[in-house]
A and B are shown apart, each in its own frame.
Chain A
Amino acid sequence: MQTTYLNQAATSFPKPREVVEAFLAWFDAPPVDAGRGGDIAADPITPCRRELAALLGVDDHKRIVLLPSATYAINLVIGALVGPGSHVVTSTLEHNSVLRPIAHRERDLGATVTSIQPDPDGTLQARTLAGALRSTTALVALTHASNVTGSIQPIAELAETAAAAGVPLLVDASQTAGAVPIDHRHLAGRVFLAFSGHKGLLGPPGVGGLVVPDDGLPQTVVGGTGVRSDAVFHPGDLPLRHEAGTPNLPGIAGLTAGVRVVGRTGVETIGRHRAHLVGRLRSGLSGLGHVRLFPLAADDGRVGVVSFQIAGWEPDEVGFVLRESFGIEVRTGLHCAPHALRGLTGGPGGSIRVSVGLPSSEADVSSFLAAIASLGEH
């Protein structure tokens, strides 16, 4: 049975041919100095930084730190900035990649946490953030878009609010990089932006990164870099400041190709494609009496996520039936964001999340809607 893949918010599939070829090509030639201080023409890392800097509106490509994942990037920032007695502001929309590092700082170091809630439309308001800030606030950590509801946050306004209080902002752009325009240079204040390489950027898993606003983030992971081996301490300049160990070179080569596909296609074009498919999904689902669809602003369809429940069916059961009986892959449950649906469901219940991306087609959506309609026929 052919699989209809509608779990693009987890990871994009299928990867563009260019990504697969770039990834595999790395294994066909001897590695040259791991891209550090070696042949410029054979350096796979700097082009990746340049492509990402152009896509994310970053002035200097050296402020793109390449890491194993967005989760790793988020941990770097939280680990460095949230110390004993620190106060952190985050939100109920966050993924565990944000919630858990903060929870560990709370448990282990006595950090305190304020979790702000979105308005009923799913949006975090700047005024809500302003009310949560304290003199001891060391970091604001917020998602750019919920991976559960798809709601896009007014990140420019939130950045202004954090900047006005002199507090750094960490933005989790895992769901938006490659799907929603991001212009880091125009975000006010000290903004760290974590991104995933294998979702909207179409790269392979195992590579992501962090945009850093300056070279002031304390180092938490240090070690070998392939350069300046005679120095006692890890280099302090960007981007090596936060990169230790042999990088994921085939992953970076694949990510570079993915970012080029995104750049060539255009983020706004991709966003329109996603929004169109989300519009079809929402329209189709809203006509089914057994479906409870969670609200979403029309413009937020660019994230590509639709969350819903079905009367008489547990989300996990729907996931099982879609996979095993219909050959459709979606995500069910809490989506690693355990508080995101509480305001909508009134409890810890999960949802069925269908998510589309650049590779998704009209036929995928039609197959999915027909399957969900079938579930109501009893």
Chain B
Amino acid sequence: MINHHPPLELLQDYAAGALTEGLALCIAAHVSLCRECAAQVGRLEAVGGALLEQIPPVEVGDDLLATVLARLDEPAAPVTAAGRFDDETRTVVPEPLRRYLGRSLRDLPWQAVGRMFHEFQLPLASRGMKVSLMRLRAGSEMPQHSHCGNEYAVVLAGGYRDADDIFGPGDFMAKGPADKHQPVVDADGDCICLVVLDAPLKFTGLAGLLVNPFLRF
């Protein structure tokens, strides 16, 4: 049961194609797991379609149709194989995100960050954002931290508790610069999240002093 959804603004920015790739990926991952938000995005895309149909037409060059007709038999660019994935990855990682991984979760070059989590930074073209998969160790308490910018996350497997909120697979989280939080990972298994940061994290507590030097941005 998914309880935490992106706000309408983010769904609409996603449908309009106005989000940077990292954040769009977060929304795509949530939308792939959440039927309500998928339906909402479908409606928003219908708004895009209706607007497109009503846009004032602008004449195209006389030969444009001929040019396109001549190109119809061109072979399409080969679709790059998304990679082969094991069952765990196919179950846990929604399709739009899988394409960015290229291999199964267990084969990713995870980097240990302190003792509480492993991280794999996704290769993304857009700059100024860090997009990672994080594997948080079962039962660990993350140091309390705040953010210089915004943090967005989608839980893919396992879960955590943050104050009174419980997060499980599919749940979406957004935190702004003013928010401090301290997730406590469920004891019964690791928690895998997709995390997008548009500025570095700042760990605020004492334990943070130990982790901060390990955080690359």
Q: Please determine whether chains A and B interact with each other in the same assembly.
A: no
